[in-house]
Amino acid sequence: MTRVSCVLILDLPALPHCVFKDNIVKTDLAPAIMEQARVTLQKCGGLPLAITTIGGFLATKPKTAIEWRKMNECISSELEINPELMTIKSILMRSYDGLPYHLKYAFLYLSIFPEDHRIRWGRLMRRWIAEGYSRDMLGITAAELCRSNWKRDKDVLESMLDLSHVRSLTVFGEWRSFFISENMRFVRVLDLEDTLGFRDHHLDQIGQLRHLKYLSFRGCCNIFCLPNSFGNLRHLETLDVRGTRISELPTIITDLRKLQNLHADDYVDRFGVRVEDDIVDKYQGYIDRISTGKRCSVLLSSSHVFLRPQVLDAGLNRYDIFNLYRFQERNLDGIILPKGIGKLKALHALGAVDVSGRNGNATVKEFGELTQLRKLKVGGLSYRNINELWSAIADHNQLQSLSVEIGDPNEDRNELDGCFGEGLLPPSSLENLALHGKLVNVTEWIHRLQNLSKLVLKRSRLEQDDAIQAIGVLPNIAVLRLQFNSFMGAQLHFQGSSFPSLLVLWFDRLDKLRSVLFEEGTMPKLELLQIGVCTELKVISGLPALKSLKEIQLPLKMVTVISMKY
C-alpha cells in the first residue's frame, strides 16, 4: 500500500534559484513547475555543475511547465546539439578521459542498463566482482545484448555474437528460451531481475552454466524451487532469490562452497507486491472454477485440464503446474535452509532465514561456523532458540549488519535480550541493528555497541524513557527508527546533548504516544524527522532546538491533528 505523505521542506530547491535568480516569488513557483523542477533535479543527480548549467539554460526560456517538461523529455539530445549545454559534455569527457584504464571499463559497463533505469549499488558491485573487474581487466568481452534495435530474434542474436565469448547476460523484459545457449559455456554473470515469463522449467538450462559467479532471479515471482542441477554451480558467489516464491533451499546448496552472498525475502517483502505476470493470482480462480474439491484432488484427478490453451499460453508446462501446488505460500519470516549450511564458510551476507520449523535449531547452531559473515537476517525465533543464536554469533567480529525477528511476538517468553549479561552480548562490531520483538534489558547492554550507526526497533514494548536515553548516549547513531509499538510510553522525551550524530528520526505506529519533546541541545545534526501514523499523538514541542532540521514528513491525515509548538 502506498502511503500518502505531506512533506514540509525547510529550504527552497536549488534549480528555481538558478532560473529565477533573486526574483523568486511564491506565485512564480506553481505546482506544475515545481514538479518539473524535481524531475530535472533527479536527472541531475544533485551535481552542482549540471544544476547550474541547466538552470542557466532554462533561465533563457519561457518560465512555463510545458517548456521545462520539453527539456526533461529530450535532455539527452539537448546535451548533444545545444551549445549552451556543451560545458557539461566537455567536462564529463575530460573526466572520463582522465580515468585509469581499468575504471573506464567499469564505467562503460553501465551501458548495459537502459536509460533512466535505476541501478542499485549492491547489484552493480557484486556484478563487477563476478566479472573480475576488481582483479584484472584482461579478456573482457561483455556483450551488448539489449540493443534498442534488437527485436529478440534468435537468428539475429546468433549472427550478431559469438556466443562462446559471452561472459555476462542481462535480460530486460520478457524471457525467451533461446537466451541461454549450450554455446554459452563461460558466462559468469546472469542477471534476470524482474524478467517476465520466467518459469521453473527454464532453470535446468542455468544449471549447466558451470562458470557462473553471479545469479539473480530477483523479482521473478513465478519461481518456486531450485533444481538439483544447481549443484553444478561450484563457482557461484552471489545468489539472489528475493521476490520469488522460493521458500526452501535444497540440500545441494551446501555444495556451493564459494558462495558469498545469499539473498532471500522475509514474508512481508516476498508477498508485499503482486505483478501482472503472477501465475498464482492469475490461475487460482481458474482452478477453483473447474473443481470444488481440495487442491490435491484437482491435481490428481483433473490433470488433463492443465493442457488446455488457457494455461499453456502462460508459458507453463506440467512441472510448473505441479510446483504451484507442491509449494504452498507459507507465513515464513525468511527462507528455510537445509542442514549443512555451516559448510559455506565464505558467506558474507545471508538472509532472510526462517528458523521456526524443521532444521531451525540446527541452522541456528551452524551460524556459529560462518565466521566471515558481515550481514545476517534471521526470523522465526523464539525463547527456545534465541539464546543459541546469540551464543553462535557472539564471536563474529566481522558482523556489521544484523536483523533479528521473533516469530510470535504475543508469546511473553519470547524476549530478544533476556539472556544478555557479562558473558553474552551482541557482537561489538555491529553498525546496523534491527530488533523485532520484546526487549527487557536494553539499558544493560546497548552502551557496548559503540560502532552502531543505525538502529531499528519493532514490537519492542519499551515502557520507560530510560531505554531511549541509553540509546541517545551512543556516539555514532545516525538513523533511529521506532516502529509498531517499539515504545509504549505516553511521551518521547529527548534530553539535551543526546543523539549527537543523529541525522534521521522516524517513529511510526506508536499507539500510546501522546507527545514528543525535544530539549535544547538534543540532536544537533538531525536533518529529517519522519512521523508515521501514531493515533494518539497530539503535540510535538521544541522543534527550534533542532538546529539542522531540513524536512518533516507526516501523513496527510495527521497534519491537522498534531500541534507543532515552536
The per-residue pLDDT for range 382-440, each reduced to its tens digit, is 999 999 999 999 999 999 999 999 999 889 899 999 888 767 899 999 999 999 999 99
Mean pLDDT of 457-468: 92
Residue 151 CA to residue 181 CA, distance in Å, equals 18
Q: Which domains does the chain have, with CATH numbers?
A: 13-92 (no CATH), 120-134+162-291+308-329 (3.80.10), 399-564 (3.80.10.10)
pTM: 0.73
Q: Quick count: other Cβ atoms within 10 Å of Cβ 515?
A: 17
Confidence of residue 295 (pLDDT cuts 50, 70, 90): very low
Check residues 329 and 409 and name the one with the higher pLDDT.
409
Query: b/e map of 36-73 (b: 16 or more CB within 10 Å)?
Result: bbebbbeebeeeeebbbbbbebbeeeebeeeebbebbe
The closest alpha carbon to 209, from 163, 245, 242, 244, belongs to 163
Higher-pLDDT residue of 78, 222: 222
- Coil/strand/helix, residue 268: helix
Distance CA 87, CA 454 (A): 40
Report the SS3 class of residue 415.
strand
265-288 per-position pLDDT tens digit: 986 555 544 454 555 555 555 555
pLDDT digits over 201-219, tens only? 888 888 889 999 999 999 9
